[in-house]
A = this chain, B = another copy of it.
């Protein structure tokens, strides 16, 4: 059995997210397993590094799978890309040590949330941005982001209320880039809780709109309660940019 690591891009708009759910075949994992199982003639299980939600995109998702195969990497990549729909692409493939696991061994991930501002529509990229009408105080957002960076209990930013495992994570960086007609929030961390990036974004946007001041971030973190943080923004603006090891 060989272990293959693949890097993927996908436009998540049409899908029910990464993870296979019961008999829902309309997931990225489901599509990959279906094609690989047909190729191999037996059930192949694919492990993804990030369980992206329905509608979330990826520029650099990583996954791995074990396979008894004589085919070389390029052949498997070509086979996958041939049968995958046009909104999913395997951009890289390599053989890795047998014990490599894309999720368990990831040391961190970079997520990007793209916001259309100033009325810009981004007609060609509209499915990858979420539009915010209100003017935003970017400097206040940056101050709030600075408070959120670091090692904290992010329980207030976790949508899973029954989460039993630790909700402590390290956010190495939240950078806020101002581009023409766009505000781009980049989150780099060692791990992310359920809906964490979208709740962080929703909270930073509330700061940008002046609903609360940057200093309120300390209260949210200390309070450890989902009710304290801002709303969860839509999936469409979110993209898993990179997984690193």
Contact = CB atoms under 8 A, between A and B. Distances in A.
A126 interface: yes
A88 B122 CA distance: 9
Interface string A75-114: 0001001000011110000000000000000000000000
Contacts of A122: 89
A152 interface: no
Contact of A120 (B11, B89, B125): B89
Interface in A101-137: 119-126, 128
Contacts of A156: none
B128 A89 contact: no
Interface residue tally on A, bucketed by range: 10 to 19
Nearest to A239: B124
A86 B128 contact: no
A18 interface: no
A126 B78 contact: no
Contact of A119 (B78, B120, B128): B78
Interface string A34-71: 00000000000000000000000100000000000000
A89 B9 contact: no
A10 interface: yes
